[in-house]
Amino acid sequence: MNIKIINKSSHQLPHYETIASAGMDLRANLSESKILKPLERSIVGTGLYIELPIGTEAQVRPRSGLAAKKGITVLNAPGTIDADYRGEIGVILVNLSNENFLIENGERIAQLVIAKHERAEWQLTEELSSTDRGEGGFGSTGVK
């Protein structure tokens, strides 16, 4: 799938690191380093603008290493970029650690996954089919 992209950063385009990678790293596009204090959140620009085909979305997800090692994650994970959005890709980062985190220009801050999706049409009804789970909610399918 070809996707149009404008790169206003000084960094390389996002790319897959391995043949089986689902996501591509997004890099911070900053004129100067930024400190993210504990429990602070910030939208960090990437300098990237994309034009997705209708029927696809781009999902902005945390980088597992950054989350595990530094407590930095994407606040609205996964963030969705719709096919009709033309603005800069921004990443809402949050610092869940007890220490300041220095975001530097070019830092790999999130990953981007391109995914196809369906559009639903509601069919109003008075009854739903029955299942073994039924109305069992949060945690109801686990071992008891």
Question: Which structural domain, as residue segments, surrounds residue 65?
Answer: 4-116
Q: Which amino acid is at 81?
A: I
Examine residue 83 and state whether it is found in any structural domain, yes or no.
yes
Three-point CA angle 79, 81, 86, nearest 5°: 140
Return the CATH number at 109: 2.70.40.10
130 phi/psi in degrees, rounded to 5: -90, 150
Which of 1-10, 37-46, 68-77, 129-138 shows the lowest per-residue confidence on average (mean pLDDT)?
Answer: 129-138
pLDDT digits (tens, 9 = 90+) for 8-63: 999 999 999 999 999 999 999 999 999 999 999 999 999 999 999 999 999 999 99
What is the Cβ-side half-sphere exposure of residue 68, based on CA atoms within 13 angstroms? 3
Burial class (CB in 10 A: 0-12, 13-18, 19+), 71: middle
The answer on pLDDT for 113 being more than 90 is yes
pLDDT at 138: 78
Rg over CA atoms, the chain: 19
**Greatest pairwise CA separation for the chain in angstroms:** 57
Which pLDDT score, from 0 to 100, does residue 135 have?
83
The count of domains in the chain is 1
Strand partners, 43: 92
Q: Is residue 142 part of a domain?
A: no
140 within some domain = no
Contacts 24+ apart (CB under 8 A), 72-77: 72/36, 72/96, 72/97, 72/101, 72/109, 74/110, 75/41
Taking the complete model, does pTM exceed 0.75, yes or no? yes
Region 84-110: what's the mean pLDDT? 98
What is the mean pLDDT of the segment spanning 78-83?
Answer: 97
Token duo for residue 22: 């689902």
Q: What pLDDT was estimated at residue 144? A: 56
